[in-house]
Structure 1
């Protein structure tokens, strides 16, 4: 009996391999379905995030428009001497802040000091000449008075002689002599009056209204101004830049010797896409980050938005009009300059003309998107460290 028994482990079960295969196939299908569902879920999430970001971008572009095309602008003034002369002193260090009225350079004042003294002498001379002319007028007036007295005496004497000549007491010759003396006295009065008129004409107006005195005073004032102009001063607070000036150089009036950058009237000019200006208006709050000051955010206001720009249509009379060749939904967007002003004290020391800035405008103070805008502009300011 023991020879006919087989070990249990050697008995073959033909159904077992088929069941195992089916179970394994079902497990693979389930895993593939789960993986497909997971990928689909992740894809849907990514699509939702992208759509959400796109919608947020459209909303943000209308309520918190931002641009990285901002430039610090300011007044750049060429410093031009108003008098010519040798530069004897340079009192400013290039690109160092100076205050309004500080001396930038000095021109040799000797020639202008001499001119001032000459003008002062001319005023004194004009005063003396006016005194002499006044004396002439007084003397002429005295002559007129004397001539009138002589005329009056001649009239009285001739009247008596004429009366006595009519009675025969005096001869006709005496009457002719009296008549001649009367005519001479009248001529003397006319001559004295003419001399008085000439003297008054030479004198002109008295005091500072006198022509010669006024001319001398004006020349004196001009000499004083020219002497003051030998000191070239800063027109405002700012810095002097772009000059290679040395003592001994001859400065010519009207020709610039250095460039001055004002630190007072400084603003930001930001270029915004045309479709970002819909809600923007003057007075809107602004925040901006300067590349020169990473990690710092400054505040400002929209001053104004340019009403028009030059878009290259230089049409001339007699020529046909030009048509733009840009078409399609994704054509290049037009940009308009927006002027931003900011607190002088807040950005003091960081306002470098030509510096780049990222600018964001808050068109609605109570908008919830302002929170995202404030976070974004601060992130950009920190990214300036690695730009």
Structure 2
């Protein structure tokens, strides 16, 4: 009796092991499956283009903004003074050029009549040229001062949600330093698959997607593109070739990243985890959906 019992138990475990091995073979070669998938989204940095004290913060993390929405204003006192100064210099440069033009025109007429020397004419001609260059530089200085003044008002350059806004009124903001982010609504899935299964995918290939944030639901997605390279496969010009040391008996599988777009738009946070599986066709499609449906239900527990 005990021998039969142990024999049945052994056969059962052996059968389970064989089924598991077959499942691994199928998921690697026929219906690739990956739990190493993450929800990604675009994150645009909020970066001041000028430095100064924060005069007012008009939004906070979590606020929805659109292109052109005012976000932050920087104290513009110094920039206003600089703008007024360059405006005055521009006005003076225009006046100087006008005077130099009149003198140059008058001396040119006098030169033709022989009433002024060539040397005096060349002096006025050089002065006229210098005035033209001075006006060009004054225009450049004014445009730069105007641009800096306008940049004291930081506006959103995308539609999205403000996140991680790490600044308050009165603090100093440095030009070029990130002070927050805008997370756009555009989201996608990045899934890592063993390289031997990459041949089963191409642009437009349909996949099943289970999101940890949406248990019990199975979504359809399609492959947008396959990443053409990974960090380990890029050899920088300034670096010599490197040999990666490996002390494992069995080498870990290399994985390639596939970008997947969902067929529906969902309000889900970026960074969330997902599971992805090739849909396949016919019976394979039924099998893959059943498996993913089971995983989606399991997400209620874990």
Q: Which residue of 2 aligns with 1:11?
A: none
User: SS of 1:342's equivalent?
Assistant: strand
Q: Deviations over 1:46-82 (max 9, x none)?
A: 8667645643542343232111111123444442211
Q: Which residue of 2 aligns with 1:230?
A: 152
Q: Which residue of 1 aligns with 2:125?
A: 200
Distance 1:139 1:268, change over 3 A: same
Q: Which residue of 2 aligns with 1:19?
A: none
Q: Which residue of 2 aligns with 1:152?
A: none
Count the aligned residue pairs. Answer: 296
Query: Please, what is the CA RMSD of the aligned residues?
Result: 3.4
Q: Deviations over 1:110-141 (max 9, x none)?
A: 33233223322222211110111012112312
Distance 1:372 1:96, change over 3 A: farther
Q: Does 1:360 align with 2:281?
A: no
| Aligned-residue offset at 1:358 | 1.0
Q: Structure 2 stretches of 5 or more lacking a match?
A: none
| Aligned-residue offset at 1:229 | 0.8
Structure with a larger share of its residues in helix: 1
Distance 1:84 1:57, change over 3 A: closer
User: SS of 2:220's equivalent?
Assistant: strand
Mapped partners of 2:64, 2:298: distance in 1: 29
User: SS of 1:293's equivalent?
Assistant: coil
Mapped partners of 2:216, 2:164: distance in 1: 30
Q: Which residue of 2 aligns with 1:377?
A: 292
Q: Which residue of 2 aligns with 1:130?
A: 97
Q: Which residue of 2 aligns with 1:150?
A: none
CA contact (8 A) 1:274 1:333 kept: no
Which structure is larger by alpha-carbon Rg, 1 or 2? 1
Select which of 336, 359, 363 maps to 2:255. Answer: 336
User: SS of 1:246's equivalent?
Assistant: coil
User: SS of 2:255's equivalent?
Assistant: strand
User: SS of 1:124's equivalent?
Assistant: helix
Distance 1:135 1:237, change over 3 A: same
Mapped partners of 1:262, 1:116: distance in 2: 34
Mapped partners of 1:71, 1:333: distance in 2: 21
Mapped partners of 1:65, 1:347: distance in 2: 24
User: SS of 1:89's equivalent?
Assistant: strand
Q: Which residue of 2 aligns with 1:263?
A: 184
Select which of 129, 148, 166 maps to 1:244. Answer: 166
Q: Which residue of 1 aligns with 2:53?
A: 86
Q: Which residue of 2 aligns with 1:214?
A: 136
Structure 1 length as normaliser, TM-score?
0.65
Q: Which residue of 1 aligns with 2:201?
A: 280
| Aligned-residue offset at 1:193 | 1.9
| Aligned-residue offset at 1:40 | 8.0
Distance 1:307 1:243, change over 3 A: closer
Distance 1:88 1:382, change over 3 A: farther
Q: Deviations over 1:336-385 (max 9, x none)?
A: 13232314x823421x23211111123x4x34211121222233223222
CA contact (8 A) 2:60 2:165 kept: no
Structure with a larger share of its residues in strand: 2
Mapped partners of 1:382, 1:97: distance in 2: 33
Mapped partners of 1:380, 1:360: distance in 2: 11
Q: Structure 1 stretches of 5 or more lacking a match?
A: 1-31, 148-188
CA contact (8 A) 2:222 2:260 kept: yes
User: SS of 1:385's equivalent?
Assistant: coil
CA contact (8 A) 2:26 2:32 kept: no
